[in-house]
Amino acid sequence: MNVAAAPLTEKLARPAPPAPYGLLAELTHRCPLQCPYCSNPVALDRRDVELDTQSWLRVFSEAAKLGVLQVHLSGGEPTARRDLEVMIRHCVEVGIYTNLITAGVGVTPERLASISDAGIDHVQLSFQGADAPTTDRVSNFRGAHERKLAVAREVRRLGLPLTVNSVVHRANIEQIPAFIELALQLGAKRIEIAHAQYYGWALRNRGALMPTREQVFRALDVVEEARIRLKGQLAIDAVVPDYYAKYPKPCMNGWGRQSLNVTPSGKVLPCHAAETIPSLDFWNVREHSLQEIWVDSPAFNAFRGTDWMPELCRTCERKEVDWGGCRCQAMAIAGDAAATDPACHKSPLHADLLALAERDSHSRVNGYDYRRYLTERDG
């Protein structure tokens, strides 16, 4: 599907979308880890094309004016940006809640104190395993686990709220109880347990990452039991693996409905993996305001609402529950971003998706195709 810019008559007829409330700011693609499940694009933005400080400050001002309430400062590794504290202070000034998403391995106590002083509201810290051998193997970074533990303790010492992030797959899905216990020991108030999503780099490693159906449903039972047991003590958010689902997830709560992503080079995306859809034209904050992009850009309007849906989705009683599911997954599996999400049991490709999961979950692939991220040396 080749999506062109909408003519003026269509713009006038189209109702204005509701204001977004979340912005994912991918400040850089530089990162010290090499996680095989990485969902960043295969082609990374180099340091020399990253938005400069003033451009990011303008983006945050425009976001606040647009209605954004919270910004997630991410990457890559956002602390690789030496101007991070400047950005945090500016977000505070324009009234946006700030959440730092970090791997933690290169963050010193002094830098954390500086980030705290700048006014950061919340820290999310990723763990690739609940123990050192798993974290270090999955991230391909020796000593990563101990560094993360030290950062978590320092975050809590500074009085900052902490969320533990854990992407689960075949190598660590049995560690979910240990992940939950780790979050409690570190004083986190929230843990995010997200099954790997298979696009971009993660798609290359699906054969080594895919858990079995039995593992997945056992994990769901563990999570539900922990939610009941720890209610009021630890919030547990879980992202179910698409390949074993009956219904598709409402990706981003609907394409172009609630949030937007800005890449290191300034492209604005409706979701983190949207660049896997080659037909879409992503406008850049260097040429357009965030308001213009949110309302008028062809990429945001391509799958917004329900008019774009194929008949199977458009006549479904869940069309404004799932919002058509994941467009990137439809692209990856069906080869057509406008197709019914294969995760839906009504999709003609659903059986094929289950067969892929069954095959890969029993594969004997144990080694990873590690993601080589950009570092400071990459210019």
Q: Cβ distance 331 to 277 under 8 Å?
A: yes
**CA angle 277–280–284, rounded 5-degree value:** 115
Instruction: Tell me the DSSP string of 4-29.
Output: PPPPHHHHHHSPPPPPP-EEEEE---
Residue 257: half-sphere exposure toward Cβ, Cα within 13 Å? 15
The H or E element spanning position 248 is none
Query: Annotated binding residue at 251?
Result: no
Query: Annotated binding residue at 326?
Result: no
Q: What is the Cα–Cα distance from 124 to 142, expressed in whole angstroms?
A: 21
What is the three-class DSSP state of 160? coil
- Closest residue by Cα to residue 325 from 228, 255, 267, 372: 255
User: Which tokens go with 246?
Assistant: 């009956």
Q: What is the Cα–Cα distance from 221 to 113, expressed in whole angstroms?
A: 39
Query: Annotated binding residue at 31?
Result: yes
Q: What is the Cα–Cα distance from 164 to 104, expressed in whole angstroms?
A: 11
User: Which tokens go with 313?
Assistant: 């989705």
Q: What are phi and psi of 7, to 5 degrees?
A: -70, 165
Give the annotated binding-site residues for [4Fe-4S] cluster: 31, 35, 38
Give the annotated binding-site residues: 31, 35, 38
